[in-house]
Amino acid sequence: MIELKTPAEIDQMRPAGRLVAKVLAAIREHAAVGVNLLDLDAMAHQMIRAAGAESCYIEYHPSFGASPFGKVLCTSVNDAVLHGLPHDYALADGDLLSVDFAVSVDGWVGDAATSMIVGTPDHEDERLIGATETALQAAIEVAVVGNRIGDISAAIGAVAANHGYKVNTQFGGHGVGRSMHGEPHVPNDGRARRGMPLRPGLVIAIEPWFMAGTDEIYTDPDGWTIRSADGSRGAHSEHTVAITPDGPVVLTARD
Ligand code: MG
């Protein structure tokens, strides 16, 4: 079922979006050579508790998951691109880290992701991250009343194609509201002018993720972490976006 929010409900979603932005900003600040993924997760957990919020991940147990996720952040490093399960790993110089984070505040969810390079940047990694950011921005620009889901998908796919990246459409964006994942699915590639019309009150997570060398993935033995089939690096950028008569509102925007 597609859930459309009233303007008042969209306002009620703002605190969750702001908290997501604040935690991701803190992660960006603290992620450095030698920092352990478990410490980043613990820091995010502390911020959730301090805000009186609830993690959307810690008890998350979908059909494809071996057990509840157990952590509050997804930390995907290098060839890991989605759903990275935080583990005892100290970040190394040049690592590409993607962090996905969702919380619920007063019953409403915010969901966003960002990618960063730890230490010395590699040009190809910067280009890959930049492509996901450009695709996210292009997608947000067409997230307007009168367009369709396919316009968002096509905008993302076009940026990927311009950069020479293939798109995997097994995982993509989704409706966000009182739960983290709802309809509609927002594929990261598709045809313009197709799919569901975008209506005022639709709130969706838009989340382009690309891998440098492939569109194929596999699941790590940890049961969660999604890795590129060829070992090439991945990047991921995501915002929760409300579609309103006045245009798209990015609920997880950094100040
Ligand atoms: Mg997310």
Find the 53 Cα to ligand 1 centroid distance in Å.
16
Find the 101 Cα to ligand 1 centroid distance in Å.
6
Burial status of residue 202 (CB atoms within 10 A of its CB: 0-12, 13-18, 19 or more): buried
CA atoms within 13 A on the CB side of 229: 7
Question: Residues 190, 195, 200, 202: what is their CA dihedral angle, to the nearest 10 degrees?
Answer: -70
Taking residue 105's Cβ as centre, other Cβ atoms within 10 Å add up to 21
Find the 74 Cα to ligand 1 centroid distance in Å.
9
Domain ranges of the chain: 7-250
Find the 47 Cα to ligand 1 centroid distance in Å.
17
Round the average pLDDT of the chain to a whole number and report it.
97
Dist CA 164 CA 10 (whole Å): 36
Tell me the mean pLDDT in the region 116-121.
98
Find the 83 Cα to ligand 1 centroid distance in Å.
9
Find the 194 Cα to ligand 1 centroid distance in Å.
24
Find the 188 Cα to ligand 1 centroid distance in Å.
14
pLDDT at 23 over 80: yes
CA atoms within 13 A on the CB side of 158: 14
165-172 CB contacts, 8 Å cutoff, 24+ apart: 165/128, 165/131, 165/210, 165/211, 165/212, 166/210, 166/211, 166/214, 166/215, 167/210, 167/215, 168/209, 168/211, 168/215, 168/216, 168/217, 170/217, 171/82, 171/209, 171/226, 172/207
Topology of the domain covering 7-250: Creatine Amidinohydrolase (3.90.230)
Tell me the mean pLDDT in the region 39-54.
98
Residue 4 is predicted with a pLDDT of 97
Find the 111 Cα to ligand 1 centroid distance in Å.
5
Kindly report the pTM of this predicted structure. Answer: 0.97
Confidence of residue 165 (pLDDT cuts 50, 70, 90): very high
Tell me the mean pLDDT in the region 112-136.
98
Residue 153 is predicted with a pLDDT of 98
Dist CA 241 CA 13 (whole Å): 10
Find the 193 Cα to ligand 1 centroid distance in Å.
25
134-157 pLDDT, tens digit per residue, is 999 999 999 999 999 999 999 999
Contacts of 162 (CB under 8 A, 6+ apart): none
Find the 216 Cα to ligand 1 centroid distance in Å.
20
Find the 230 Cα to ligand 1 centroid distance in Å.
24
Find the 21 Cα to ligand 1 centroid distance in Å.
12
Tell me the mean pLDDT in the region 207-230.
97
Residue 62 is predicted with a pLDDT of 82
59-86 pLDDT, tens digit per residue, is 988 887 778 999 999 999 999 999 999 9
Confidence of residue 229 (pLDDT cuts 50, 70, 90): very high
Find the 102 Cα to ligand 1 centroid distance in Å.
6
Residue 1 is predicted with a pLDDT of 80
Task: Supply 195's token pair.
Answer: 């799919």
pLDDT at 51 over 80: yes
Partners of 116 in beta bridges? 97
Tell me the mean pLDDT in the region 230-254.
97
pLDDT at 253 over 90: yes
